Structure 1
């Protein structure tokens, strides 16, 4: 055979292998393979943690690697979702079994900014309903990187000097912490997607070709759940993974669908709502993310259980991450004190319907009143346009903020940046300096 023909055949084989890798990356396996993984603790930082074992095609660039398939083999373990479970999910989320997630939700996953950058710690969030979930997880990522992880770095360096692997570790810890809290500190359920379809559509159920492939993995130890998530981290932070929906499903199954319904006071109010063409999260979802309970009243200050009431101790308990809320309507209820004053200076902020994270680097900020005279906070809103963490200086004793409290803050000439208004729901009358940054949000 002429040498030129041999070269042509070799070129075609090479092209075929490239297409095979592309299809494998998207989860469309050309042949059925057994999903294998190296079980490495999310905290040991071992090189190559979470990578497939066995011979692998050479990476085209030293800084890239072929991720695990986003669709698992059905023999990985766990138990398949049932039609009853799939319908229960739909009813809790949408109030019926016919509505489906929008393309915005289907495309959403946990995507980090560039490692070793000013925003290496930060998740990127599109404008829309998924941002609330992404920013709630972002708060837990910051908690781990600033106050839990052992590192030589201090203050903001702890957030900036992290690698791509450390981003995955932080995400695994944040997801595991949230699921464990939803499971009452005794269980966590992790949902992943398999190649097989477990639920066939019926007259009462409209398939989405995603939920029907769910496999559930239950853990009775948080460390094991965290390790499992880290081993399969590309199933949450890989493009095309449906990572945000997977996490939301995991959250609901960790709590159990029955207990979520009890949290909602057995009402038929869905967890998600349609607003101006978008699917957005209700207060109950935010409550589940922050407190482990899907109570629509968990975040406000006027629903404390009476003496001997169910869950009064949990209601009064301060969590590691707090919540601040501000809108331009004066009629909105105040956030409960325990969420305005969490254990650590990290708050998920809901500001005029948009979400971001406000945080400080001093773990003692909320435990010593003397530190709350003049202090520093930082703000991140998840938007691609934000290229640097906003640095705010808060002064609670300057008395320069003079505003007629009887006048609507949204009236002409009286508007202040919304972030500042949210901060003042915690520190009334405080002045806020943006340190040279143009105020936004």
Structure 2
């Protein structure tokens, strides 16, 4: 119930098919390193995972040489890079101490009467089973062993990975990091909030993109604290305004 409330603000809303049928499936050539997004909605998760996959293919432990200036990974390269990417995001969310991975069991773990009265069943949440890891190597080994299942075209691996990141970081911790603890992470349009994107990229579920925290004086003794990025991430953000050369971001050398 806490997970559903954090995501949607209620216990009756659920993920649509644009999420539940979204796996980490790669495109065929020529852009064979790109993840396929089937429908609008889970782009925040897919973009963050895609960025980490490219990082691994180009600069990480699973890096491969360019072929005439082009990136052409083989299937084994993509499996390794995706495993490393998911592991890196999860381990960062767990402050490099522990991680949780959510999988779907064949039998429900929630009583039907409870589900009917207080939690709308969606065919996924009531079958959730959690695996706990205290070692990054163990997490990576597990992910690599099951990465083929996560790469299937019609599977719920995108939702399960989002569940895993949230549960790894901690529901209460996420609420404390958000500017408005009563808000939720999935918008009415089914898109990810900025908190989800920042959690995936930086390990903190903050709502803003400026450096550090910003304290606003609302007049009188009342003040409001807006939380931003606390440290440099290995993967940054590129806005459409930067791409179109209508604005430029000046790096903060203090980071």
TM-score, structure 1 as length reference: 0.50
Q: 1:290 to 1:150 in 2, by over 3 A?
A: closer
2:95 corresponds, among 162, 181, 184, to: 184
3-state SS of 1:207 partner: coil
Q: Is the 8 A contact 2:87 2:143 kept in 1?
A: yes
The Cα shift of 1:247 comes to 0.6
1:284 deviation in Å? 0.6
- Residue aligning to 1:260: 174
| 1:110 and 1:244 in contact (8 A); partners too | yes
Cα distance in structure 1, aligned partners of 2:146 and 2:65: 28
What displacement does 1:263 show? 1.3
Structure 2 alignment gaps of length 5 or more: 217-224, 251-255
Asked if the contact 1:97–1:206 (Cα under 8 Å) also holds between the matched residues in 2, the reply is yes
Question: What is aligned with 1:124?
Answer: 36
State the secondary structure of the residue aligned to 1:324: coil
State the partner residue of 2:152: 238
Distance 1:281 1:291 in 2: 15
In 2, Cα distance between the equivalents of 1:315 and 1:419?
A: 21
Q: Report the CA distance shift for 1:92/1:163 in structure 2 as closer, same or farther (over 3 A).
A: same
Listed as ranges, the gaps of 5+ residues in structure 1 are: 1-86, 328-417, 428-441
Matches of 1:235 and 1:266, distance apart in 2? 36
Q: 1:419 aligns with which of 224, 243, 251?
A: 243
CA change 1:305–1:185 in 2 (3 A) is farther
* Whole-Å separation in 2 of the counterparts to 1:151 and 1:103: 33
Q: Which residue of 2 aligns with 1:281?
A: 192
Alignment partners' CA distance in 2, 1:152 and 1:227: 20
After TM superposition, list the pairs within 5 Å mapping 1:22-421 onto structure 2. 87-114=1-28, 117-149=29-61, 153-154=65-66, 159-160=71-72, 162-200=73-111, 201-265=115-179, 267-275=181-189, 279-297=190-208, 299-301=209-211, 303-304=213-214, 315-326=229-240, 419-421=243-245
**Residue 316 to residue 104, structure 1, CA distance change in 2 (3 Å):** closer
Q: Does the aligned pair in 1 maintain the 2:90–2:99 contact within 8 Å?
A: yes
Name the residue aligned to 1:349. Answer: none
8 Å CA contact 1:234, 1:241 repeated in 2:
no
Shift of 1:152: 6.2
Q: 1:302 to 1:149 in 2, by over 3 A?
A: closer
Q: RCO (CA 8 Å, sep 6+): is it higher in 1 or 2?
A: 2
Structure label with greater radius of gyration: 1
CA distance in 2, matches of 1:239, 1:150: 23
Query: What is the CA distance between 1:239 and its match in structure 2?
Result: 3.0
| SS of residue in 1 equivalent to 2:132 | strand
Secondary structure at 1:133 match in 2: helix
User: What CA distance in whole angstroms lies between the structure 2 residues aligned with 1:188 and 1:212?
Assistant: 21
Q: Would the aligned equivalents of 1:186 and 1:221 in 2 still touch at CA under 8 Å?
A: yes
Cα offset for 1:302? 7.3
Query: Using a 3 Å threshold, how does the CA distance of structure 1 residues 159 and 152 change in structure 2: closer, same or farther?
Result: closer
> What is the CA distance between 1:303 and its match in structure 2?
3.1
Give the match's secondary structure for 2:11.
coil
* Distance in 1 between residues matched to 2:248 and 2:74, nearest whole Å: 36
For residues 253-295 of structure 1, the C-alpha deviation after alignment (integer angstroms, 9 at most, x for no partner) is: 11011111111246211001013xxx01111111111111111
Distance 1:156 1:168 in 2: 22
Corresponding residue SS for 2:184: coil
RMSD: 2.7
Residue in 1 that maps onto 2:219: none
